[in-house]
Amino acid sequence: MASERSDGPEEAFVEALVQLHTDAPAGELGEWCAAHGIEVVPMAAGALLTGPAGRFAEAFGEHPGNRTEPRSLPVPPALRDTARSVTVLPLPDLGAGTSSPD
Protein backbone atom coordinates (compact mmCIF):
# COMPACT_ATOMS: atom_id res chain seq x y z
CA MET A 1 0.00 0.00 0.00
CA ALA A 2 2.06 2.89 -1.22
CA SER A 3 -0.50 5.46 -0.07
CA GLU A 4 0.45 4.74 3.56
CA ARG A 5 3.78 6.43 3.00
CA SER A 6 2.44 9.71 1.68
CA ASP A 7 3.82 13.23 1.57
CA GLY A 8 2.65 14.33 5.02
CA PRO A 9 0.89 13.16 8.16
CA GLU A 10 -2.42 14.81 7.23
CA GLU A 11 -2.58 12.84 3.98
CA ALA A 12 -1.49 9.47 5.43
CA PHE A 13 -4.01 6.72 4.71
CA VAL A 14 -5.86 5.56 7.84
CA GLU A 15 -7.98 2.48 8.53
CA ALA A 16 -10.24 2.25 11.57
CA LEU A 17 -12.79 -0.26 12.85
CA VAL A 18 -16.12 0.89 14.23
CA GLN A 19 -18.05 -1.45 16.49
CA LEU A 20 -21.78 -0.72 16.31
CA HIS A 21 -24.32 -1.00 19.09
CA THR A 22 -26.52 -4.10 18.80
CA ASP A 23 -29.18 -3.52 16.12
CA ALA A 24 -27.84 -0.02 15.34
CA PRO A 25 -28.45 1.04 11.75
CA ALA A 26 -25.22 1.41 9.79
CA GLY A 27 -26.87 4.01 7.55
CA GLU A 28 -26.32 6.81 10.06
CA LEU A 29 -22.63 5.96 10.23
CA GLY A 30 -22.39 5.97 6.43
CA GLU A 31 -24.06 9.37 6.11
CA TRP A 32 -21.92 10.91 8.86
CA CYS A 33 -18.69 9.55 7.37
CA ALA A 34 -19.60 10.67 3.86
CA ALA A 35 -20.18 14.20 5.18
CA HIS A 36 -16.65 14.09 6.66
CA GLY A 37 -14.90 12.65 3.58
CA ILE A 38 -14.35 9.21 5.11
CA GLU A 39 -15.15 5.99 3.22
CA VAL A 40 -17.17 3.20 4.89
CA VAL A 41 -17.09 -0.54 4.20
CA PRO A 42 -19.86 -2.36 6.12
CA MET A 43 -18.84 -5.45 8.10
CA ALA A 44 -20.75 -8.06 10.13
CA ALA A 45 -20.71 -6.20 13.46
CA GLY A 46 -19.49 -2.80 12.40
CA ALA A 47 -17.62 -1.06 9.64
CA LEU A 48 -14.16 -0.35 8.28
CA LEU A 49 -13.46 3.37 7.84
CA THR A 50 -10.74 4.59 5.48
CA GLY A 51 -9.43 7.98 4.49
CA PRO A 52 -6.73 10.61 5.00
CA ALA A 53 -5.49 11.21 8.56
CA GLY A 54 -6.50 14.87 8.32
CA ARG A 55 -10.14 13.89 7.70
CA PHE A 56 -10.06 11.59 10.74
CA ALA A 57 -8.59 14.39 12.87
CA GLU A 58 -11.32 16.81 11.76
CA ALA A 59 -14.14 14.29 12.19
CA PHE A 60 -13.13 12.74 15.52
CA GLY A 61 -11.38 15.71 17.11
CA GLU A 62 -8.11 13.81 17.58
CA HIS A 63 -5.31 12.87 15.22
CA PRO A 64 -5.00 9.11 14.59
CA GLY A 65 -1.41 9.20 15.90
CA ASN A 66 1.67 7.40 14.60
CA ARG A 67 -0.27 4.11 14.29
CA THR A 68 2.35 1.78 15.74
CA GLU A 69 -0.41 0.28 17.93
CA PRO A 70 -4.23 0.29 17.82
CA ARG A 71 -5.64 3.59 19.13
CA SER A 72 -9.15 4.41 20.29
CA LEU A 73 -10.76 7.61 19.09
CA PRO A 74 -13.67 9.26 20.88
CA VAL A 75 -17.12 8.46 19.52
CA PRO A 76 -18.56 11.78 18.30
CA PRO A 77 -21.87 12.89 19.87
CA ALA A 78 -23.67 12.42 16.53
CA LEU A 79 -22.72 8.71 16.55
CA ARG A 80 -23.26 7.83 20.23
CA ASP A 81 -26.50 5.96 19.49
CA THR A 82 -24.85 4.09 16.62
CA ALA A 83 -21.20 3.40 17.46
CA ARG A 84 -19.77 1.70 20.55
CA SER A 85 -16.12 2.29 19.68
CA VAL A 86 -13.73 3.58 17.02
CA THR A 87 -10.28 1.98 16.82
CA VAL A 88 -7.55 3.15 14.46
CA LEU A 89 -5.62 0.15 13.15
CA PRO A 90 -1.82 0.10 13.27
CA LEU A 91 0.18 0.25 10.07
CA PRO A 92 0.85 -3.24 8.74
CA ASP A 93 4.42 -4.43 9.07
CA LEU A 94 4.63 -6.06 5.67
CA GLY A 95 7.24 -8.76 5.51
CA ALA A 96 8.20 -8.60 9.18
CA GLY A 97 8.87 -11.98 10.67
CA THR A 98 8.74 -13.77 7.34
CA SER A 99 11.67 -15.09 5.40
CA SER A 100 11.94 -14.33 1.73
CA PRO A 101 12.10 -17.25 -0.68
CA ASP A 102 15.53 -18.04 -2.06
Indicate if the pLDDT at residue 88 is higher than 60.
yes
* Residue 59, amino acid: A
- CA dist 92 and 82 (Å) reads 28
Q: What is the per-residue pLDDT across 7-38, written as a single tens digit (0 to 9) for each?
A: 555 678 999 999 999 988 888 999 999 999 99
Q: What is the per-residue pLDDT across 37-68, written as a single tens digit (0 to 9) for each?
A: 999 999 988 999 999 999 999 999 999 988 99
Q: What is the pTM of this model?
A: 0.80
Predicted local confidence at residue 69, as pLDDT: 94
- CA dist 35 and 59 (Å) reads 9
- CA dist 97 and 30 (Å) reads 36
Predicted local confidence at residue 98, as pLDDT: 61
